[in-house]
Amino acid sequence: MFEALGAAAAVTLQPDNIWYAILGFLIGAVGGAMPGIGGPLVLTLMMPFTIGMSPESAMILLIGAYTGGQYAGSIPSILINTPGNSSSAAAVFDGYPLAKQGEGVTAIAVSATASGIGSILGGILLILIAPLLMQLVMLFGSPEFFMLGVVGLAVIVSISRGSLLKGLIAGALGALVASIGTSLIRAQPRYTMGIPELYDGINLVAAFIGVFAVAEMMRLAGQRGGSIAAALSKTGSRIKGIWWTLKEWWTLLKSTAIGIALGVVPGEGGTVAAFVAYGEAKRSSKEPERYGKGHPGGLVAADAANNSVISGSLVPTLAFGIPGSNQAAILLAALMLHAVRPGPDMFGADIQLTYTMILAVIVGGVATLVLGLAFAKQLGLLSLVPTAILIPCVIVVSMLGSYVLAFNFMLTLQALVFGIIGYTMIRFGFSVVPFILGLILGPLAELNLSRTVQLAGDQNVIWFILQRPLSMILFLIILVLLFSDPIKRLLKSLRQRRNS
């Protein structure tokens, strides 16, 4: 192991490869920061340019772009309430309120520090426990995917701002909207109203652009003058951001572990990881009421998980050729372009290339820390742009971003409709977070429940699910998420009564 690791380190640290990592990071960051462009598209466009490079250099360049895109997706989340990609959506919850409070630079520094440390710790953890993670890939079947979806939906209870009932209504509405499109279960169109563009369902990124960016710009347009940041003289500080992140060290570690564990789950894990990490951070916090209003812990959880997902997603991609995320699917195509065939040998005879890729993630993490912090101040100043200038700019970027998703005006229309939905929800005191969770997790839970029912055959479905160890663990997590707060409150009131 150490010999292969040393050889991989020697390759990764060659000056050429360090430059490739930095170049990849910067290209990925620029693309990732633009809503609608996002990491997968940037990686796809970069792939042909790697022809002629060695497989190691190509992977270092592309993984640099992966880490750059993953980090930079949070920048528009923080500054203009618009996630650059779906996994950055959870960074909106506390990142944007921090920017509004005049802590734009601090929030970007928190994001860079948490993302950087998440990537680095995720990489180290992967080197140590990759064989164990390979087993985890095999443990996630349809019943476990269903339970994972329910875990995510149960997070609604812990992250709903204000009324729980409103949170549940918003979550249900999100799940209902997600059912638009051709059902994968019976192949019949649902709520498509004969519009062919709706047969593939709601585009998640267009929905995010609408619910977050368009709705927020509509809200800002209703206010008089000013800028996003309430205090014009303040933008926060980098040192404060680093300090706030390090103070949340336990959340950082937990979220990194959640990110790597769920990143391993092929396909769906990465999107869920940031939400689950956020929900857990809020649930276990001593001041949960501050979450959603600009608590650094929320941003730390979302970004650490979002970046440690990168390492996790490499495991099924390299071991079985089953990509753990969209970006991992493109890395897989790039590996094959360079005549590298993924398989268990990637964790055996070819482990040196695997270590090189993991070290590239770690180098990407270092780049996130150094470059992310270096540019935090300049980026943070964006929160001071007067709303009269900002609103038209964001609307144009949002419309353009939704259009380029598929070069189809239908998606622009979707973004607008979701903007109206989001604005209405804000006006009537509904949190959009449960709505988004319902939108993401509804189809995951529905499809896998359907598969689970098929697989159970004549058996009782509940028993079929609960007799599987990992499903049982996820069930216990759901119980904790649903009932830990009420039980805590009950115990507290009992204690108070006894004392009085």
Partner 1 sequence: MKLKAAVAIGALVVGASAMQVAAQDLRWRTINVIVPVGAGGGSDTYARTILPVMADCLGTNVAVRNVPGDGHLLGIGQAHRSNPDGHTITVFNLPAIPITQLSRGEDAQVDIRDMTYVGTYGSSTLVLYAHPEAAENIDDLMALYEGGESVIGAQDRVGGGEVITHVMRDQWGLDWQELVVYDGGAQLVAAILRQEVPGGVTTDASGQSAVGSGQLLPIASLGAERSPLYPDVPTAEEQGYEDLSALGFWLRTVAAPPGMDEERLAAMEACLEEAVNSDQIQEWSENTGNPVMFVGAEATSRSAAEAFRIIGEIPNFDEIAGN
Element (H, E) at 430: none
Q: How far is the CB of 143 from partner 1 (least distance, A)?
A: 9
The nearer residue to partner 1, 148 or 363, going by C-beta atoms, is 148
Going by the DSSP 8-state scheme, the letter that residue 211 receives in this structure is I
Binding mask 340-359 for partner 1 (x = CB under 8 A): -xxxxx--------------
- What is the rounded distance in angstroms from the CA atom of residue 254 to the CA atom of residue 457? 37
Q: Which residues contact 446 (CB under 8 A, 6 or more apart)?
A: 149, 175, 179, 185
Number of residues that bind partner 1 (CB under 8 A): 53
Minimum Å distance from CB 43 to partner 1? 8
Rounded CA-CA distance 73/79 in Å is: 11
**Is 197 one of the binding residues for partner 1 (CB under 8 A)?**
yes
CA–CA separation, 342 vs 336, rounded Å?
8
- Subset of residues 299 to 328 that bind partner 1, contact rule: CB under 8 A: 316, 319-323, 326
- Give the per-residue contact string, 125-154, with partner 1 (x = CB under 8 A; - = no): ------------xxxxxx------------
Site for partner 1 in 407-426 (CB under 8 A): 407-408
Nearer to partner 1, 344 or 386 (CB): 344
Q: Give yes or no for a contact between 26 and 68, defined as CB atoms under 8 angstroms apart.
A: yes
Least separation in angstroms between residue 137's CB and partner 1 is: 7
Report the SS3 class of residue 189: strand
Nearest distance in Å: CB 333, partner 1? 6
Cβ nearer to partner 1, comparing 138 with 389 = 138
- Is residue 225 involved in binding partner 1 (CB under 8 A)? no
In the set 199, 250, 409, 483, which binds partner 1 (CB under 8 A)?
199
Nearer to partner 1, 81 or 414 (CB): 414
- Minimum distance from CB of 477 to partner 1 (Å)? 21
Residue of 3, 186, 233, 428 that binds partner 1 (CB under 8 A): 186
Q: Which is nearer to partner 1, 159 or 207 (CB)?
A: 207
By CB under 8 A, name the one of 10, 336, 349, 479 that touches partner 1: 336
The binder of partner 1 chosen from 31, 36, 83, 266 (CB under 8 A): 266
Nearer to partner 1, 124 or 456 (CB): 456
d(CA 406, CA 209): 14
330, 379, 416, 437: residue in contact with partner 1 (rule CB under 8 A): 330
Is 184 or 388 the residue whose CB approaches partner 1 more closely?
Answer: 184
Contact range with partner 1 by CB under 8 A, out of 28-36, 65-73, 179-187, 395-403? 179-187
Tokens of 323: 């990509």
Report in angstroms how near the CB of residue 199 gets to partner 1 at its nearest: 4
Report the half-sphere exposure of 125 (CA within 13 A, side-chain side): 27
* Ranges within 51-90 binding partner 1 (CB under 8 A): none
Closest contact distance (angstroms) between CB of 457 and partner 1 is 6
Q: Are 439 and 203 in contact, with CB atoms under 8 Å apart? A: no
Q: Which stretch binds partner 1 (CB under 8 A): 283-291, 338-346, 351-359, 380-388?
A: 338-346
End-to-end CA distance of the chain: 62
Q: Which of residues 441-470 bind partner 1 (CB under 8 A)?
A: 447, 451, 454-455, 457
Instruction: Provide the residue count of the chain.
Output: 500
Q: Which CB atom, from 24 or from 236, has the smaller least distance to partner 1?
A: 24
**Of residues 21-40, those binding partner 1 (CB under 8 A):** 40
Q: Among residues 69, 236, 267, 270, which is the contact residue for partner 1, using CB under 8 A?
A: 267
Specify whether the CB–CB gap between 69 and 54 falls below 8 A.
Answer: no
Residue 91: name the closest of 275, 244, 310, 286 by CA.
275
Q: For partner 1, which is the closer residue by CB, 257 or 447?
A: 447
Amino acid at position 268, single letter:
E
* Interface with partner 1 (CB under 8 A), residue from 176, 184, 462, 479: 184
Cα-based distances in Å from 368 to 116, 120, 137, 269:
5, 10, 28, 23
Residues 351-410 contacting partner 1, CB under 8 A: 406-408
Cα 100 to Cα 50, 230, 279, distances in angstroms: 41, 5, 22
- The residue ranges that bind partner 1 (CB under 8 A) are 40-41, 43-45, 48, 137-142, 182-188, 194, 196-197, 199-200, 266-267, 316, 319-323, 326, 329-330, 333, 336-339, 341-345, 406-408, 447, 451, 454-455, 457
